[in-house]
Structure 1
Amino acid sequence: MQIFPRLPAEWEPHAATWLAWPHNARDWPSKFAPIRWVYAEIVRHLAESEPVRILIRSQRQEQEVRGLLARAHADLNRVSFFHIPTNRVWTRDYCPAFVQDQNGNVAAVRAGFNGWAKYPDHELDAAVPEKISQALNLDITPMLFQGRPFILEGGAIDSNGKGTLLTTEECLLDQQTQVRNPGLTRADIETTLRQYLGISNVLWLGRGIAGDDTHGHVDDLCRFVNPRTVVLVQEDDPGDDNYEALRENRERLESARLEDGSRPELVPLPMPRPLFFENTRLPASYANFYIGNQVVIVPTFNDPQDRVALGILAELFPNRRVVGVHAVDLVWGFGTLHCLTHEQAAPITTSP
């Protein structure tokens, strides 16, 4: 039985996709210049089939972005700008969750945001949900546990829209490194996810991938592609830092059950060769794709596995265009396509 409010799956119809235009050069040391062109490419692909809503800091920035998007041949008729300042661009993690009630109406849920329990300058990002809900005239509900804010980033979870959710112990249960909710147990977290997002069944994976600045986000690791099928990145080199963690996560999923008691279908995705910034490994992963209304945009890394990953996802999304977006520069900011996008669910309308 479906619980409401309900967190829709990413492949369900969008009213729009939200992005924040890049402005913090410190997030891409020595690589900031090409990032805006990567963004223009993302907007161009998404605007072919849905509205794109962009958070910008000023009227001057809006004019600059309009000109750049025009040069990139993006459909500006489907792009709108919201003057909402941000610290960083990772809208996946701080935008509100857009949920549906039993009548198909959409409302916003605001989780707490503490800068991934790592970055102190996050106050602008934390204020974004309220500002978006005001701009859209949507009701917004704060996500609480026993009266205190419940910290949750969008990249930490992935939903099949039927009540099952993927997440990792490393991210949500850690009590030492990057602590989101001090003292909360697995049962406390599951209760909160049920109350605010309609989640009846949580599939707990272990660790995320090496180089993940967020300490275990699931969207670099494992994703639903339909209500019964998940893709899980797989590392074939036993000497790689990801090998054991990904093997263990596959074993967990092989014994997991969906909300109806059935086993999920597992499809392996390859991993690209390791990418580094100086001596720091970067979270390069094909699992960080984004599902738009008619397109799936997939990060690519100038790697032989790019073609393999695109082929696998093309078979899994036969009714959408699957396109690669160059992410070698983008991943220097410790995130790629799914991290910087956030879907706004469309309301469900019924014919009279």
Structure 2
Amino acid sequence: MPLARTDTPAGLGYRMPAEWEPHAATWIAWPHQKSDWPGKIAPIPWVYTEIVRHLHQSEKVNLLVADSRMEAAARRYLLKGGVDLTKVHFWQQPTNRVWTRDYGPIFVVNDKHQKGMLDWRFNAWAKYPDWKQDDAIPGKLNKKLKLPAWQPFCHDKRVVLEGGSIDPNGKGMLLTTEECLLSPVQERNPGMNRADYEKVFHDYLGIKKVIWLNQGIVGDDTHGHVDDLARFVNAKSIVTIREPNAADPNHAILEENWDRLKYTKLDIIALPMPEPVVFNGQRLPASYANFYIANTVVLVPTFNDPNDREALGILAELFPDRKVVGIHAVDLVWGLGTLHCMTQQEPR
């Protein structure tokens, strides 16, 4: 059960750690929703197999499956892909979709190395009608994890928040976007304003300063998630994508975000963008910023693009203590998300 609303995590000494801090595990959900990859579901389990193959060499993988039948199918794929199943823990919990970044629990820790869980409300990006199974995941998982847990509230209403809309540095700073949290389009929390969000981030995540970017990239189904735009890579450095082609609709969007970041007094590093990835007439949210930082590896989406090599090289320099691995994501991004969207870290 959630604790009393006045006993907020920050008040009890908890904070949301940065993604590069040590993990106990990575949480993912096995792909099953054919409508998320219409006409292209066949390669997706193999993409997941490759992702798990790299992750399980770094840390435990907690894999959500709907039932024993889906678990058996996942085991067959993973075994064929050379995965050691002793390092994969299966959790039979049905989900609507696979984007655990957005509906999975967000974990917090305190100075005593104790762990807690935040159970935000999830409503499928204020866009889709099928979300109740995803929304229930944190509470169901905590029946076994048995961690201190909070359901964040503001104005006597539970707060809707997706993990892909925020990026913290573990030292009291957080990145987000106005388009996602403050726009009336796909409005998550009607009535909440900038100050409300900043107070919620302070009380529940231990955040002291919020960096607000403007818009997300073209093709982003979430309406402005920051994890396709800009990411902390250490406490004082941010990588952010740029598009030099002035004719590309992303150019002006990304230049405004770059200008905002220049005033933060942090180190700002540019990441390239791939050429537009289009399938069935639709531009997809292909971005190198959607990488995932695990204990010993950084997984980076790649798109059969000349800039793949440049992006991998930049991130390899920023994470010299980790292996930087490209994961082919041309098929995966047809689901309108890639590696960061489908993973959620659990701190050690």
Give the TM-score of the pair, scaled to structure 2. 0.96
Aligned to 2:234: 226
CA distance in 1: counterparts of 2:11 and 2:225, whole angstroms: 25
CA distance in 1: counterparts of 2:148 and 2:42, whole angstroms: 38
Aligned to 1:300: 302
Alpha-carbon shift at residue 277 of structure 1 (Å): 2.2
Aligned to 2:287: 285
Alpha-carbon shift at residue 183 of structure 1 (Å): 1.4
Aligned to 1:328: 330
Q: How many residues align structurally?
A: 339
CA distance in 1: counterparts of 2:42 and 2:76, whole angstroms: 16
- Would you say the 8 A contact 1:100–1:106 is kept in 2? yes
Aligned to 1:217: 225
Partner amino acid for 1:109? L
CA distance in 1: counterparts of 2:43 and 2:330, whole angstroms: 10
Alpha-carbon shift at residue 101 of structure 1 (Å): 2.2
Q: Does 1:245 align with 2:253?
A: yes
CA distance in 1: counterparts of 2:61 and 2:81, whole angstroms: 15
Deviates more, 1:214-223 or 1:143-152: 143-152
Q: What is the identity percentage for the equivalent residue pairs of Structure 1 and Structure 2?
A: 56
Aligned to 2:267: 265
Partner amino acid for 1:301? F
Flag structure 1 segments of 5+ consecutive residues without an equivalent: 257-262, 347-352
- Would you say the 8 A contact 2:11–2:203 is kept in 1? no
Give the TM-score of the pair, scaled to structure 1. 0.95
Flag structure 2 segments of 5+ consecutive residues without an equivalent: 1-9
Map Cα deviations across residues 98-129 of structure 1 (whole Å, 9 max, x no partner): 00123220010111111100011000000001
Say which of 170, 175, 181 aligns to 1:172. 181
- Match of 1:32, SS state, is coil
Map Cα deviations across residues 170-193 of structure 1 (whole Å, 9 max, x no partner): 001112x10011011100110011
Aligned to 1:350: none
Aligned to 1:42: 51
CA distance in 1: counterparts of 2:250 and 2:113, whole angstroms: 40
CA distance in 2: counterparts of 1:23 and 1:319, whole angstroms: 34
CA distance in 2: counterparts of 1:208 and 1:285, whole angstroms: 11
- Would you say the 8 A contact 1:3–1:198 is kept in 2? no
CA 1:255–1:88: 2 relative to 1, 3 Å? same
Provide the alpha-carbon RMSD of the alignment: 1.2
Q: Does 1:94 align with 2:103?
A: yes
Alpha-carbon shift at residue 60 of structure 1 (Å): 1.4
- Would you say the 8 A contact 1:235–1:242 is kept in 2? yes
Say which of 310, 313, 331 aligns to 2:312. 310
Partner amino acid for 1:304? P
Q: Does 1:30 align with 2:39?
A: yes
Partner amino acid for 1:280? Q
- Match of 2:14, SS state, is coil
